[in-house]
Amino acid sequence: MFGIFDKKKDMQLVIDDKPEMILQAKETILNGALRHNIPFPYSCKVGGCGSCKCILVEGKVKELTDKSYLLSKEEIKNNYILGCQSIPKTRVVIKLPAVAFEHQIVTAVISEQKALTHDIFEVTLTLDKPMPFQAGQYVNVEVSDEEIPPRSYSFAHDFRDTSLSFFVRVIPNGKMSNWLTAPENINRNVVVNGPQGEFYYRESERDLLCIAGGSGLAPIISMLEAALASSNTMINRNLTLMMGARTQKDLYYSDEIKKIKKRWKGVFEFKAVLSEEPESSNWQGLRGFVTEHLDKTNCHNTQGYLCGPPPMIDAAIATMNTLGIDSEHIYFDKFLDQSQAS
């Protein structure tokens, strides 16, 4: 009970080749790193997303939650821990997993806010310097107003210069989504921390099944644009893009998707599925939930890329598993909000 941890001693932490830093008593590795301005990947901060995973090279930590539901057996065997859930009990040395592009903390201004639907906006930022990323990844966005906590947003395009944009769904009473889309905040400063996440294109012989819900279309569009720009192998693969939305007024980017389809080399099918469209409307497309339209044909020998609200992703993964697609062929990014993360 009264071990080293309870003596409230400050602990030393070393991350990769960075200078040693001192953590405060009971401070997590993630919070300590961020306090010392070390760009450390994170999203939920409460053990719900796995973004902050890192390798414990030396020392002991107290873990606040069970990591086994987020990390694979292989990762646990290789000493992976969650930075946001680990408090050093001794001097600790950790290594961040190898990433394709270095994390950066970059300042930016909001240069455009464009309504895509009644509640989804495309928010464009102009950065002080370019932030290279892999299409599909996301950044954490911070603003100077202390009332507004940092939130994650996915890159919506394949921009490679100092511009980047997000599709932001405005949540009633949502602090950050309302701030980012409020007209009075145009030209205001924000700080972006990234790139982060492991949702990006993987080579395979399989066909592609992309499922997007709401603003979850952003990283999928980013991947499709990256494929067109680089002519990587993705562009030759047969692809079905299913977009789940409530009604026709929640659909957006249909024209842009048509343009992508024209340039795609494999077969490209786009299906919008509406769950709350009035029966009496002129909608000729699919109705219900996306999962109701998954079957042995569109799931045969596919690789899945899923992005959007967590319940939609959980249901789609379960259905795909039932239809014979192993989880190792399914990549996803859940747009967790604070209620789901805690």
Ligand X SMILES: Cc1cc2nc3c(=O)[nH]c(=O)nc-3n(C[C@H](O)[C@H](O)[C@H](O)COP(=O)(O)OP(=O)(O)OC[C@H]3O[C@@H](n4cnc5c(N)ncnc54)[C@H](O)[C@@H]3O)c2cc1C
Among residues 230, 208, 112, the alpha carbon closest in space to that of 167 is found at: 112
Return phi, psi of residue 112, to 5°: -155, 145
CA 196 to each of CA 99, 137, 235, 304, 339: distance values in angstroms, whole numbers, following the listed order: 9, 6, 24, 20, 21
Q: Which is nearer to ligand X, 32 or 219 (CB)?
A: 219
Interactions with ligand FES, residue window 4-43 (CB under 6 A): 42-43
Task: Give the three-state DSSP class for 167.
Answer: strand
For ligand X, the closer of residues 96 and 218 by Cβ is 218
Out of 152, 165, 222, 291, which residue is the one contacting ligand X (CB under 6 A)? Answer: 152
112 versus 269: smaller Cβ distance to ligand X: 112
Q: Which does 42 bind (CB under 5 to 8 A by kind): ligand FES, ligand X, none?
A: ligand FES
- Our finding on whether 213 is near ligand FES (CB under 6 A) is no
Site for ligand X in 197-256 (CB under 6 A): 197, 215, 218
Q: Note if the bond before 195 is cis, omega within 30 degrees.
A: yes
The C-alpha atoms of residue 200 and residue 184 are separated, in whole angstroms, by: 34
Q: Show contacts with ligand X in window 124-143 (CB under 6 A).
A: 138
Q: Which of 105, 40, 44, 39 is nearest to 334 (CA)?
A: 44
Site string for ligand FES, 84-123 (x = CB under 6 A): x---------------------------------------
Residue nearest to ligand X (CB): 174
- Judged by CB under 6 A, does residue 182 bind ligand X? no
Q: Does 44 bind ligand FES (CB under 6 A)?
A: yes
Report the C-alpha gap between 185 and 118 in whole angstroms: 19
Residue 45 touches which of ligand FES, ligand X, none (Cβ within 5-8 Å per kind): ligand FES
Residue 82: which of ligand FES, ligand X, none does it interact with, CB under 5 to 8 A by kind?
Answer: ligand FES
Residue 284 CB neighbours (<10 A): 5
Crossing angle for the helix pair 254-263 and 217-230, nearest 10 degrees? 30
Q: What is the DSSP string of 23-71?
A: EPTT--HHHHHHHTT-----SSSSSSS-TTEEEEEES-EEESS--TTTS
Span of 8-16, 59-67, 173-181, 238-246 interacting with ligand X by CB under 6 A: 173-181
- Which uninterrupted H or E stretch holds 12? strand 11-15
Which residues make up the interface to ligand X (CB under 6 A)? 43, 49, 138, 151-154, 166-169, 171, 173-177, 197, 215, 218, 333, 335-339
Which residues make up the interface to ligand FES (CB under 6 A)? 42-45, 47-52, 82, 84
